[in-house]
Amino acid sequence: MPNLFFIILSVVIFLGGIFLILRCGASRLNKTIFSTLALLYVLLIELFLVANYFTGVGVNQATIMQLKFGLTGAPFKEYIWLITLIIGSLSLCIILMGIFVYIKTDKNISLSYSRCLMAYALLFVGLSINPACVNIYQLPHRSLISSMRSTSSETWEFYNYYKEPRIRRLETGQKNIVVIYAESLERAFFNEDIFPGLVPELKLIEKQSTSFSQLYTLPGINGTIWSIVASQCGVPLYLPSMSFIKNPRGDFLPDATCLGDLLANEDYFLAYYGGAKLNFTRKGEFFKSHGFIDVFGRNALRSKLEDTTYLNHWGLYDDSLFDISYKRFLELSESGTKFGLFLLTVDTHAPGYPSKSCEDKGYLDGSNKHLNAVKCADFLISDFIRKIADSPYGEQTVIVVASDHYNYRNTPAYKMIKQARGNEGKKNLFMIFEPGKVTGKEIHTLGTHMDIGTTILPFMGYSGQIGLGRDLLKEGERIVKERDYIADKLFTWKPEILKFWGPNIIKQDISIDTNKKMLTINNKKYELPVFLELTEDLFVSHITRFKPSVVAHIQRMAKKDKFLWIDDCKDIKLSDMNVTSHGTVISNDGWCLITGQDSKYIHKTRLDGKTTYNMNGLRRILNMN
């Protein structure tokens, strides 16, 4: 969070600018311009205040990435007071600015250019040290830029540390797996000095588990979908451009090989059950893109409830989720197929939503709703684990419990949580329970969510590595240094990690179907219109459907790169050249394809129906022969 002094200074300077503009005899045009900039200042202040409410540090990387994802599927009812406050304050500002613009200047105030200039100067200074702007200045520069390229040495270095995800069966045999992503259930709750008797059942299970006590969160991974991706794909989740995210492609990190892909190739049946909506941060798309067959969120699971109104702001209560999931566990176990069952809880999300089955299990005097929810989670999660362990299929199952992220500043018990963290700082929960085995081992190796996927493989009967993840059971000075180095280099490697979003290098024929409005690259489908930026080796470095940015993007492209643009013929308006086919000027209807380099156009044609370009044909229209 920016220094409080600079926050106050920014506001004082901003108010000084307003005072001067009121006293300088500004024209209506000047008032309009000033008011627009002042509104921008207010918007940035509100962005900072809202972000700070959740993060405690103002605008950070998580804020930027959440804005990229959007808020589809978020529980707006939970924050209706905050939304009302934002809309109300903005409305008041707009009304006041409207009055300022349209009211006539007092005749007693003469025009003063120096005062008007000083007013603008103060406004711009206020904007430059606005707390939201200060936060953005302080972010690592690569956390904001999605199109930055790696140097050849950075590319080589990334692939030297990134291990191609592969697994190999061990002779010990393979097991099924149940993974519980426990919402915000960080290790601080296990501190008996601050939270006596809060999670006794989970502490008992931890004593029988392989527990990892030093799992921390890397910058940019402090959120549910970020931790899920890191734990399964062995890479942090970085998001490309806004237009890319809005592209309704229906896939999520299509070129990353994740735990789900590896297990699906081993004939595992994979299922995800989460109480919240699937479209919030596109969780559903991630699981569907990486080997999962059953992908059920709030809407699908609600129909399985006896009382379909038994919901909280996020979705299903955890007692409902665990009841449904246990029935599914029995069904899958009885089927004899190998399976993975992945769950995401919601009850412990701030401000806390204790399930009805925990009405008699409040924490201490029951006054803190969030701690009541944690106490309830202790009961529900441990009960679910014991039911699996006591079932006929327990010894064939590995159970993983991991917190998805730390608690945010808006958590009701945040001060106590901060105290419980103590000098050791923030740590996530991560334990692996093997029914029938009493391991009781605590591992102190430093790790992150990226290490979870690789670490659980041996417990399932596999060896291997996933991406940048490392096995936390393996210790040694070299391994420790390697983990530290990976953590330090993540932002440097961001351009390489972003490539997991794209179709990568084109390896086979591309197909264009104008009837279905679809482009197919490497068996991945993209809705038309579409714009591709390609390098000499046919690597697709950028793909977008955001039309207004196309011409500007062409002008910013590296001179050596090529582009391929498919759009309505009437919308392709580049230079003064008409798009022609076989020497005939094309009319404004239909679809056209145009390729070029450095704002010069190489090939152009009208498309009709289905068109296929083999590798030679593609190189020909891109002039790569």
pLDDT at 574 over 70: no
CATH code that applies to domain 152-167+174-205+216-412+431-499: 3.40.720.10
Please check whether residue 263 is in contact with residue 233, taking contact to mean a CB–CB distance below 8 angstroms: no
Helix H segments across 144-258? Answer: 152-161, 200-207, 224-233, 242-245
Query: 397: which strand partners?
Result: 176
Tens digits of residue pLDDT in 488-545: 899 889 888 888 886 567 878 899 999 988 888 876 777 788 888 888 878 776 666 5
Report d(CA 384, CA 107) in Å as an integer.
Answer: 77
Query: Using an 8 Å Cβ cutoff, are 14 and 42 in contact?
Result: no
Work out whether strand 397-403 and strand 176-182 pair parallel, antiparallel, or are unpaired: parallel
Strands 562-568 and 530-534: what pairing? antiparallel
Instruction: Please name every residue paired with 166 in a beta bridge, in sequence order, or none if there are none.
Output: 465
Query: In sequence order, what are the residues at sequence separation of 6 or more whose Cβ sits closer than 8 angstroms to the Cβ of residue 419?
Result: 194
Give CA separation, 367 vs 319, 347, 349, 363, 567, in Å. 21, 16, 17, 8, 60
CA dist 461 and 585 (Å) reads 64
Which has the higher per-residue pLDDT, 251 or 103? 103
User: End-to-end distance of the chain based on CA atoms, in angstroms?
Assistant: 54
Q: What is the pTM of this model?
A: 0.77
pLDDT single digits (tens) 365-399: 999 999 999 999 999 999 999 999 999 999 999 99
Side chain identity, residue 191 = N
Per-residue pLDDT, averaged over 109-123, amounts to 87
Find the angle CA(271)-CA(272)-CA(274) to the nearest 5 degrees.
150
User: Does residue 457 sit in helix, strand or coil?
Assistant: helix
How many other CB atoms are found less than 10 A from the CB of residue 584? 9
* Structural contact between residues 601 and 577, judged by C-beta atoms closer than 8 angstroms: yes
Q: In whole angstroms, what separates CA 324 from the centre of its chain?
A: 27
Give residue 243's pLDDT.
Answer: 43
With a cut of 60, say whether residue 85 has pLDDT above it: yes
The bridge status of strand 591-597 relative to strand 562-568 is antiparallel
For residue 460, give the nearest of 399, 532, 412 by alpha carbon: 399
pLDDT above 70 for 329: yes
Q: Give the 3-state DSSP-derived string for 2-71, with helices as H, strands as E and coil as C.
A: CCHHHHHHHHHHHHHHHHHHHCCCCCHHHHHHHHHHHHHHHHHHHHHHHHHHHHCCCCCHHHHHHHHHCC
Cis check: omega of the bond before 503, within 30 degrees of 0: no
pLDDT tops 90 at residue 603: no
Contact indicator for 130, 432 with CB cutoff of 8 Å: no
How far apart are alpha carbons 431 and 434 in whole angstroms? 10
Which of the four pLDDT bands, split at 50, 70 and 90, describes residue 461?
A: very high
User: What is the tally of helices (H) and strands (E) in the chain?
Assistant: 21, 21
Q: Domain boundaries in the chain?
A: 4-139, 152-167+174-205+216-412+431-499, 503-621
Three-state DSSP state, 195: coil
- Cα separation, 290 vs 166, in Å, equals 14
Using a pLDDT cut of 90, give the percent of the chain over it.
52
Contact between 301 and 320 under an 8 Å Cβ cutoff? The reply is yes
CA angle, 97 then 101 then 104, to 5°: 135
pLDDT digits (tens, 9 = 90+) for 154-185: 778 888 899 989 999 999 999 999 999 999 99
Q: Is-contact 445 472, C-beta < 8 A?
A: yes
